[in-house]
Structure 1
Amino acid sequence: MGVHNVMEDVVRDTLMTYKNSMNLACDCERCLNDIMALALNDLPPRYVANSKFSPYIRAEHQADRQGATNIITVIAKSAAKVSSSPRCETYAQTKQHN
């Protein structure tokens, strides 16, 4: 396995849960990856060297209301930034047809 940043899983799951309520300009894979990258750069990493500890880290963030709110806030800010200027081909093509 090597090492894994469990925060990637937490951010991905949170983004997928709330993406429909974020009014994204585009929800293609590239835009979602851009949102995740921006959010992960603003959040502290949580690395594990053994995958059996991953559920404990995830549960810790779900139980911590302030921490969970912080993650949602960071994702929402990242989503707003990406939506204001999507870099994907999907959005560019949609914009040309309108």
Structure 2
Amino acid sequence: MSIHNIMEEIVLEVLVKYKGSLQLTCECERCLDDIRAIALNKLPPRYIVQMEHRPYVRAPYTADRQGVTNIMSIVTQAAGIVSKSPRCGEDA
């Protein structure tokens, strides 16, 4: 049995859905991963071990207007941070 952080899929869905309105300076995989990481570090993790519990854990963050607004705000802030200083051009 594996542990799954539902917040990861919620943040990814928000990022994909609103990517066009985030005014990103770069949409490469590295920059999108950086946005996800920054957002996830600001949000509480929501772990499950049984996938059938997914809807119950997701509901406060996808069905509740305040939950959706909170996640969108955090993803927008993370996008702003990455857009100001994209790391995709750095040498490894």
- When normalised by structure 2's length, the TM-score is 0.91
Q: Which amino acid aligns with 1:34?
A: D
Q: Which amino acid aligns with 1:48?
A: I
Q: How do 1:1-98 and structure 2 match up within 5 A?
A: 1-89=1-89
Runs of 4+ in 1 over 4 A off after TM superposition: none
Q: Distance in 2 between matches of 1:56 and 1:14?
A: 18
Cα RMSD of the aligned pairs, angstroms, is 1.2
Structure 1's unaligned 5+ residue stretches are 93-98
Find the counterpart in structure 2 of residue 95 from structure 1: none
Structure 2's unaligned 5+ residue stretches are none
Q: Distance in 2 between matches of 1:66 and 1:60?
A: 8
Q: Distance in 2 between matches of 1:24 and 1:56?
A: 32
Q: How many equivalent pairs are there?
A: 90
Q: Distance in 1 between matches of 2:54 and 2:28?
A: 27
